[in-house]
Amino acid sequence: MSLDYFKRIWAEVDLDAVAHNAAALKAHIGNKPMMAVVKADAYGHGVETVSRTLAEAGVAHFAVSSLSEAMQLRRFGHTLPVLILGYTPPECAAQLAENRLTQTVYSTRYATALAGAAADAGVTVDCHIKLDVGMGRLGFRADSDAEMADALAACRLAGLHVTGVFTHFPSADGDGDPQGDVTRGQIDLFTRRVAQLEAEGVAFAVRHCCNSAASIAFAGAAMDMVREGVALYGLAPSPALDGVVDLRPAMQLKTVVSMVKTLHAGDTVSYGRTVTLTGDRRVATVCIGYADGYPRALSGKGYMLIHGRKAPILGRVCMDQLMLDVTGIDGVEMGTEVTVFGRSGDAMLPVEQVAALCGTIHYELVCVLGKRVPRVYVQNGKTVGVTDYIG
C-alpha cells in the first residue's frame, strides 16, 4: 500500500486505537465472540485496512449491509463468516452460497423468494432469522404469534440453512429509554421467542442481540455473540454511555490553509453575503467543503482548530472550501495544518461536538466522508498505509 497522498484533506485513522477498542469491548462482554460491523466502508474509516486490523484482533464474524460489501470482503481475502444485514435480491442466491455468505431473512415473502431461488439454483443459502422487537424495520414481529409462526416456517424451508437468530434494539443507548426498562423488556421478548423456536426443533448455532450500545449498557444480554459497530471506531453510541468502556477515537480529520488575507469592515464573506465584517479580520481559506462530507449546516456556527486555537467558520460552507476567522492566531499561512475534528496541540475537538453543532450524530459525519478524502493509517505512531480512492 502506498504511503503517498496529497496534503489537501485527509482522515488519519489510528489502527492501534481500533485494536484497543476491540480488546476493551471484548473484555467488557466477558470475552464473548465478536461480530465486527464494517458496513459503509467501515463507518468511513476504510474497510480494507480496518477489516484486516479487526481480523488480526480476533473478531469471529463480519457484518455488512449489502451483497456488494460482502463480496468486497471476500475479494480482500477474508474467510471469516460474513452476515449481510440488509436486502439481497433473491436471484443472487447462488452467489450467496458460492461465496459462503450468510443472508438475513426477515419476512415470509423474502424467505419464500430466497428459498425458491436457491432451489432453482441447486444451492443452500446460510441464513440468520431476524426478529423485530420494536425497531419497526426488518424482521418478523416478535410480539405477534402469527409472525412467529411465519418465522418458524421460514426456518424449515428447503434451500435455507438457518444458522442464527438476532434482533436489533432501538433504544439501548438510552435515547428514548433513559431507564432501560423498554430495552430490558425487548431483551426478555427476544429471549422467550428464541426459546420457543428452539423448542420447536430449530437449532441455532449463534444467537445475538447486542449492538454496540447494548453490549456496553446490557452486557449480560450478550448471548452467543455481540455485534460491535460504532464502538470499534472509538465512538460511544451516546453521551450516556461515554466513558463506560475505555474507547479511543480512531479518526481525526485534517485539512490545510490555501490562502490567508485581511478583510476589512464592510467586506462580506462567502455565498449569499451572509456575513458582513464590522472590523478588520484575518481570514484563512481552507481546503474542505460539503463535497468532502463537511456539513453545510455548520455554516457560521462551526469551528476548527489551528495551533490549538479555535478558528470559527465565517459565512457559508462551499462545495470545496470554506473560510475561517484566524484573527489573533499566529503562524497561519499557506500549508498550515487545520484540525477539522481531532487533536491540535493540547486542544481536542471531538467529532461528537462537531456533529452536535449541526444537529446530527457522529455516526453520520464519519460515514459521509467523501471519496476524495484519503484515509491515512497510523500504527505505532508511524504512517503504515494510505487508501486514496481517486488519487
Ordered structural domains, the chain, with CATH: 15-234 (3.20.20.10), 251-360 (2.40.37.10)
| Catalytic residue (one of 26, 39, 130, 254) | 39
The residue-averaged pLDDT of 155-176 equals 97
Contact assessment for residue 368 and residue 44, using Cβ atoms and an 8 Å cutoff: yes
Statement: residue 287 has pLDDT above 90: yes
| pLDDT tens per residue, range 303-350 | 999 999 999 999 999 999 999 999 999 999 999 999 999 999 999 999
82 has a pLDDT exceeding 60: yes
Nearest Cα neighbor of 169 from 231, 211, 119 is: 211
Residues 165-186: what's their mean pLDDT?
A: 97
Per-residue model confidence as pLDDT tens digits over 373-385:
999 999 999 999 9
Is the pLDDT assigned to residue 4 strictly greater than 90? no
**CA dist., res. 220 & res. 30, Å (int):** 9
Q: What is the pLDDT of residue 319?
A: 98
Which amino acid is it at 220? G
User: Considering the chain, what percentage of its residues have pLDDT values greater than 70?
Assistant: 99
98-117: average pLDDT: 98
- Taking the C-alpha atoms of residue 193 and residue 142, their distance in angstroms, rounded to an integer, is 7
Mean pLDDT of 152-180: 97
Residue 39 and residue 96: Cα distance in Å, rounded? 17
- Set 261, 271, 371, 389: catalytic member: 271
- The alpha carbon of residue 270 and the mean position of all alpha carbons in its chain are separated, in whole angstroms, by 32
- Residue 147, sorted as left (phi over 0), alpha (psi -120 to 50) or beta, turns out to be alpha
How far apart (Å, rounded) are the C-alpha atoms in residues 3 and 387? Answer: 9
- Computed over every residue of the chain, the mean pLDDT equals 97
- Which helix (H) or strand (E) segment is 47 a member of? helix 47-56
What does the DSSP 8-state code read for residue 157? Answer: -
Q: Is the pLDDT of residue 390 over 70?
A: yes
Q: Provide the pLDDT for residue 391.
A: 80
User: Could you give the percent of the chain with pLDDT greater than 90?
Assistant: 98
Average pLDDT over residues 96-107: 98
* 51 has a pLDDT exceeding 80: yes
Which DSSP string corresponds to 250-318? -EEEEEEEEEEEEE-TT-EESGGG-EE-SS-EEEEEES--GGGT--GGGTTT-EEEETTEEEEEES---
In this predicted structure, what is the pLDDT of residue 1? 55
pTM given for the model: 0.96
DSSP state of 347: E
Distance CA 28, CA 12 (A): 27
DSSP codes, 119-143: HHHT--EEEEEEEESS--SSSEETT
pLDDT at 27: 97
Nearest to 87 by CA among 113, 70, 66: 66
Q: Is 39 a catalytic residue?
A: yes
14: enclosing H helix or E strand: strand 9-14
Among the listed residues 337, 366, 335, the one whose alpha carbon sits nearest the alpha carbon of residue 350: 366
The Cα–Cα gap between 344 and 12 comes to: 13
356/203 Cα distance (integer angstroms): 44
Task: Record the cell numbers describing residue 35, joined without a space.
Answer: 461480530
> Which residues, in sequence order, are bridge partners of residue 141?
132
| pLDDT score for 2 | 66
Residue-wise DSSP of 82-113? EEE-S---GGGHHHHHHTTEEEEE-SHHHHHH
